[in-house]
Amino acid sequence: MPVEEFVAGWISGALGLVLGHPFDTVKVRLQTQTTYQGITDCMVKIYRHESILGFFKGMSFPIASIAVVNSVLFGVYSNSLLALTATSHRERRAQPPSYTHVFIAGCAGGFMQAYCLAPFDLIKVRLQNQTEPRAKPGSPPPRYRGPVHCATSIFQKEGPRGLFRGAWALTLRDTPTLGIYFVTYEALCRQGTPEGQNPSSSTVLVAGGFAGITSWITATPLDVIKSRMQMDGLTRKAYQGLLDCVVSSMRQEGPGVFFRGLTINSARAFPVNAVTFLSYEYLLRWWG
């Protein structure tokens, strides 16, 4: 099994992640808290109360976990294509796989990475939702002191299954939308590149950026549900399950609730995925 794809997936994912984390914090807050009027209000409040560090809450853990998550996504994707089409990544420019194969391989990668991502994403969301300023003398300490403390408290209070809270919503969110992600990337790359050649850097940046946007647009409704399920059970249990979360969110807040965080998700998705695909392509070319 070729491993370059796993390593390239990890490095490129980490680069994209740092760039996109501040957007991600704003998004999670908008989706799960009602105290903010919109993106700007949320950004100003985070900055005032929590300083610039507020935007980077919960980042150290995703950086570590992206090693697993992105390498699983890209590694499984590329190896599934190898199984489906019998072509390695080097041969795929000359013999491009069909979009159906790209979609299936993308879904396979998405499904596998969702399970690895679930506990890490849960911890990220819980930490991002802590609004207490850091280390202010006299103020009550936040519920979780950091990622490890967060993981152990969830484990103790909610059991091992607690670490997989929201995992179903996450799998449903990621399986089809990562299929869409790779299909968009491939389609845009092919359109901007003469046959048989490697796409140029600018083509890769644009194709990667739009792949991120289309994938996030389609993922946002389930992203809202996923974040809410992950926060559920912290103080009291509000939802009976995934469907109940969909129905009660819709009843209480109207259909617009499913698009919370869409603008910020898209704004974040372009740079993050442009950088992810550019570094992924270059690392693979560099390794021959």
Residue 92 vs residues 96, 97, 197, 198, 212: alpha-carbon distances, Å: 5, 7, 10, 10, 22
Considering the complex, state which of residue 155 and residue 168 has its C-beta at the smaller distance from ligand M3L: 168
Q: Does residue number 121 form part of the binding site for ligand M3L (CB under 6 A)?
A: no
The least CB distance from residue 114 to ligand M3L, in Å, is 9
Could you give the CA distance from residue 22 to residue 95 in angstroms, rounded to a whole number? 39
**Binds ligand M3L by CB under 6 A, chosen from 177, 184, 249, 279:** 177
Q: In the range 68-97, which residues lie near ligand M3L by CB under 6 A?
A: none
Residue 226 vs residues 122, 151, 221: alpha-carbon distances, Å: 9, 18, 9
Residue pair 150/157 in contact (Cβ under 8 Å)? The answer is: no
Q: Does residue number 272 form part of the binding site for ligand M3L (CB under 6 A)?
A: yes
- Of 44-52, 194-202, 215-223, 252-260, the segment contacting ligand M3L by CB under 6 A is 215-223
Q: Does residue number 269 form part of the binding site for ligand M3L (CB under 6 A)?
A: yes
Say how many residues touch ligand M3L, by CB under 6 A: 13
Q: Does residue number 174 form part of the binding site for ligand M3L (CB under 6 A)?
A: yes
Residues 6+ apart with CB under 8 A from 130: 57, 142, 143, 144
Burial class from Cβ neighbours inside 10 Å (0-12, 13-18, 19+) for residue 15 reads middle
- Of 31-39, 158-166, 175-183, 230-238, the segment contacting ligand M3L by CB under 6 A is 175-183
Contact letters for ligand M3L, residues 12-41 (x by CB under 6 A): -x----------------------------
Residue 269 tokens, joined: 């998705």
Q: Does residue number 273 form part of the binding site for ligand M3L (CB under 6 A)?
A: yes
Could you give the CA distance from residue 178 to residue 102 in angstroms, rounded to a whole number? 10
Interaction site with ligand M3L (CB under 6 A): 13, 173-174, 177-178, 181, 212, 215-216, 219, 269, 272-273
